[in-house]
Amino acid sequence: MNSISILSGETLFDVAIREYGHMQGVAQLAKDNNIELTSILSPGSVLKVDDSVTYDLPAVTVRKNTSIAPNTQTVHQGQNIFDIAIQEYGTLQGIEKLTIDNSIGLTENLPVGSVLNIRNEKLNKLVVEFLAGKGLKIATDFSVEQSETLKPQGIGYWKIGVDFTIS
């Protein structure tokens, strides 16, 4: 019996394929660790893996996750760092990874065609898989400079003679 650490974003199915080469290993992992098939695994938690178990089916070759994989994403027209974070990580929490891995500032404009390094780590797999499955690229076409020029509108913000004229 071996012990392994769970990587960020891994499910029980990911571990079964990584360790046993088959999804059939899910039941073995659940049994050996007294967990449910649908249990959510925390990064860094430890699971027991029975290395004496084998399956007769052909093995699947799986590349293990690394903290930074050689994945890249090309910036498209109208995309900013927020768009890329949601598209590639599934949440705005990916902004930190983008700024660190690409040595860019939070407010920098991303030139169209520039290539960004993307970690092989999805923070919200459902969002990433939905966007990828539909072939969608998020492009809000909204720059930091544009956001700074916006000012609140409406009766609560207007001043008579300045923004609001009574005739």
We find that the CATH architecture of domain 2-49 is Roll (3.10)
The radius of gyration of the chain from alpha carbons, rounded to an integer in Å, stands at 23
- Given a cut of 80, is residue 6 above it in pLDDT? yes
Nearest in space to 73 (alpha carbons), one of 120, 21, 12: 120
- Given a cut of 60, is residue 153 above it in pLDDT? yes
Q: Are 99 and 107 in contact (CB under 8 A)?
A: no
44-71: per-residue pLDDT in tens? 889 999 888 776 655 444 444 444 445 8
- Given a cut of 70, is residue 1 above it in pLDDT? yes
Please report the pLDDT score of residue 48 as a whole number: 93
Say which range, 37-41, 124-128, 147-151, has the weakest mean pLDDT.
147-151
Q: What is the C-alpha to C-alpha distance for residues 15 and 59, in angstroms, rounded to an integer?
A: 14
112-126: per-residue pLDDT in tens? 999 999 998 888 989
Cα dist from 60 to 11, 29, 71, 97, 154, whole Å:
17, 17, 22, 30, 60
Mean pLDDT score of the chain = 81
Instruction: Render 111-147 in DSSP notation, one character per residue.
Output: PTT-EEEE-S--SSHHHHHHHHHHT--------HHHH
Please report the pLDDT score of residue 138 as a whole number: 86
Nearest in space to 10 (alpha carbons), one of 48, 40, 50: 40
79-105: per-residue pLDDT in tens? 889 899 999 999 989 998 998 888 888
- Domain locations in the chain as residue ranges: 2-49, 71-149
Strand residues in the chain grouped as ranges (E): 2-5, 46-49, 71-74, 115-118
- Given a cut of 50, is residue 111 above it in pLDDT? yes
Please report the pLDDT score of residue 117 as a whole number: 92
